[in-house]
Amino acid sequence: MKIIANKDKNIFLNMLTLIMIFAASLATGLFLLIKSSRLNIYLTILTVLILFFSAATIYLLGMLLLVIRIVKNKNIPRFLISLFENSIKFVYPIMITFSNLLKIEKDPIRRFFSELNNKIVIQKIDKLKPEDILVIAPHCLQNSSCKHKITGNINNCNRCGACDINLLLDLCTSYNINLQVVTGGTLARKIIKDYRPKGVIAIACERDLSHGILDVKSIPVIGIKNERPNGPCYNTCVEINKVEKAINQFLRR
């Protein structure tokens, strides 16, 4: 899976640009402040600001370097993976807040976050058994004209082949992996709580994937974006080979 599409490379450039602007602004501000005649009055505040902003800049640069290494599939120590994972989950909501304020499209950020999470999960997970893996799919994968209710009982599927549910069932059955179809995040959380899997493969749109990854804190989640040729939440599709690849990553095959 190629984590960075051409249009998503702007996220890296924007991050690096913001860090450089931040560092340059800090240096300029400190220079002007040092030249100010009020230096003695603000000496304590200045010292605190220098320490705080220096630490913040180093932290952001460290984060960026880790992102680059993970994207390039470079191994990093396990303790750094955990630290980085927690940092990303902390920074992500802040990025979404700023994107709302600046009216920036959020889906590329969400997609990047979920794909970066996948890279982290693949590096840190141990080998799982098939029965420990749960595949969760959205109900919009089911053909809208289908009269069979499959949420709650996937075996109600008539296997007509009109949607990708049939292909998912075939795949999960062949690997002896549990598949559940949900109507939203609330039901997904309940199913995860009931089944208590050790690994989750979630199929959803960028928004639901990012929310789900943040909600499920103690279980590794590999997110797979669904395809929406007919618009959001209506007769969506999924690339079955990506689901199978995620299964094999959990199985360490």
Return the top range by mean pLDDT from 30-44, 99-113, 217-231.
217-231
Report the alpha-carbon distance of residue 173 to residue 40 in Å, rounded: 73
Nearest to 137 by CA among 168, 106, 105, 115: 168
Written out in words, the top-level CATH class of the domain with range 127-251 is alpha beta
Nearest to 108 by CA among 180, 232, 6: 6
Residue 5 confidence class, pLDDT cut points 50, 70, 90: very low
Q: What pLDDT sits at residue 3?
A: 41
Q: In the chain, what percentage of residues exceed pLDDT 90? A: 31
| Lowest pLDDT segment from 85-99, 101-115, 161-175 | 85-99
Q: What pLDDT sits at residue 38?
A: 52
For residue range 162-220, what is the model confidence (pLDDT) as tens digits?
A: 999 999 999 999 999 999 999 888 888 889 989 899 999 999 999 999 888 888 878 99
- Flag whether pLDDT at 41 surpasses 60: no
Neighbouring residues of 121: CB distance < 8 A, sequence distance ≥ 6: 220, 221, 222
The residue with greater pLDDT, 127 or 46, is 127
Average pLDDT over residues 148-174: 90
Q: Is 106 exposed, middle or buried (0-12, 13-18, 19+ CB in 10 A)?
A: middle
Q: What pLDDT sits at residue 1?
A: 40
Report the alpha-carbon distance of residue 122 to residue 107 in Å, rounded: 22
Work out whether strand 133-138 and strand 199-204 pair parallel, antiparallel, or are unpaired.
parallel
The residue with greater pLDDT, 33 or 228, is 228
Calculate the CA dihedral of residues 154, 160, 162, 166 and round it to 10 degrees: 40
Report the alpha-carbon distance of residue 61 to residue 63 in Å, rounded: 5
Report the alpha-carbon distance of residue 135 to residue 168 in Å, rounded: 9
Report the alpha-carbon distance of residue 208 to residue 205 in Å, rounded: 5
Mean pLDDT, the chain, rounded, equals 80
Q: What pLDDT sits at residue 2?
A: 42
- Flag whether pLDDT at 9 surpasses 60: no
DSSP string, 128-156: --GGGEEEEEEGGGS-TT-----TT-GGG
Quickly tell me which residue has 């390039």 as its tokens: 72
Work out whether strand 178-182 and strand 133-138 pair parallel, antiparallel, or are unpaired.
parallel
- Note the pTM of the prediction, 2 decimals: 0.74
Domain boundaries, the chain: 6-123, 127-251
Q: What angle, rounded to 10 degrees, do the helices at 107-124 and 206-215 form?
A: 40
Neighbouring residues of 126: CB distance < 8 A, sequence distance ≥ 6: 252
Average pLDDT over residues 136-159: 90
